[in-house]
Structure 1
Amino acid sequence: MIGQIKIEQQRRSEMTNLAAMKQPLVSANAEPWLNDNVMDEIADLNAAFLRLVVTLEGLAPAVCQRILGLPRVEAQRIAELTSSRFRSMCRCPYSLFSLQLDDRRAWETMARGLMPLPYQQRPQWYNQEHSQLNDEKISAFMLTALHYIRHLVLSGTTSAQFVFGIVGGNSTTLARIPVSKLQNIAHQCFGLLSVRFANNPFFWKQLTKNAAIGNDDKLHVAQISGLHLISSHPQNAAA
């Protein structure tokens, strides 16, 4: 009897996974703004972030992993992807990076023009010749991402909270931060930037592995697992 129950549970699980493979990542009932153009823009940001990770990992692996949180093996796997496989991996209906938009206290502090100490950490690069250039690359990406997220928030969409892991009143807080302060944040608070789901290495392993082997169905399921992580643990969605 127990054996039959387990077989039935396994069959249902397989049917669920198969159904998930056949469903688009964005359903027909999604908000109107989450169209192909916006999906492309999110993919562009994800691609820019992961290219940054790969670049920094090649220069200083230990520093990159400690700061951004992606294991070296996953960064190396990303670096070896073809351009088409890389693009497919990046096309998720959510960001693959975090700017700690779930930290209400930190963003309230930054809205007042102050920079929270925990996020003011600056990388200690081994090669000082590349130090300024690396810092500029991180800062440039952060500023681009912050501008885009702020734009979506000001457009009035609620899905921006889901896509970028914005918690509670941080949408309102981000909307009232002027551009000049965003620039200061991007130049002074490198500690805000990290890979999303950094506390779930299984997600990144499956995402990069299935992108590398070229299995679109399994890659699709790996991307859907990110949606499950967000919906199941909204308090950790930005981490």
Structure 2
Amino acid sequence: MEHELFIKEVRRGIYLLDEGHEATGYLVIGENKACVIDTMNGWNDLCSAVRKLTDKPLVLVNTHGHPDHILGNVYFDKEVDHALISPRDRAMAESFFESIPEVKEMCRKCGHGIPPFADIREGDIIDLGGRTLEVFELAGHTDGELLLLLREDRILFTGDGINHHLWLQLDGCLPMKEVLAEFDRLMFLEDRADVILHGHARDLDDISLMRCLRNGIAELCEGKTENDKPYHWFEGTDLQHSFSCFADKHYQQADHVICYRKENLPTDIR
């Protein structure tokens, strides 16, 4: 079935929610509450699926404001008072709910509304009971991209900020040097997590993906672009830079690229 929802328990009480291999969300169940991390494109009633896995009170977090991470929020309007998002992505997220006609039609058909957004920031803690999610900000893919560290299980949920195909060619992405500085600021997280679950994953990645991606960004800042190729996507053609990962670590896929615009590189190497 097109856009079918695939659910996999990757750790006890931690579920990967894969919507048609287009976007991925997660459910983390604690002793007292459960947290939904991203709601994908809204093609499935995600709340009903979650309610088959847990009856605990829900917390809803969006790692950033792009449509393929927030549109399924509409199914949670009767379960949560708000959806948590960085204040730096809040206006963008709200604008997508206003500008995409299919969202209002979806709400009309299913009888749901859109939960309002509320702010969450670096340093905030989500206590689920026996499991805690610590919030960090990794500006780059968007200005308000969030990382969530599940301390007890040593899992880092990274949205689109850390993944195998990092999009830095979008309007609103930070310049490459600023992205590198953001990664360097947060590299201590590789000592606090063992694995990564990102926003388009089908399984776990070793935490070393974070360092490999950081090194790829550094290569771009150093002007090592001679082997870069065109990247064709739905808004045109930009560039893609391949980066290497470690041969002795587990990654869910073998190709690793950073997509970017030439004007986002440092001015002295464009």
TM over 0.5: no
If the length of structure 2 is used for normalisation, what is the TM-score? 0.26
Q: TM-score, normalization: structure 1? A: 0.28
Higher strand share: 2
Task: With a CA cutoff of 8 Å and minimum separation of 6, indicate the structure with the bigger relative contact order.
Answer: 1
Higher helix share: 1
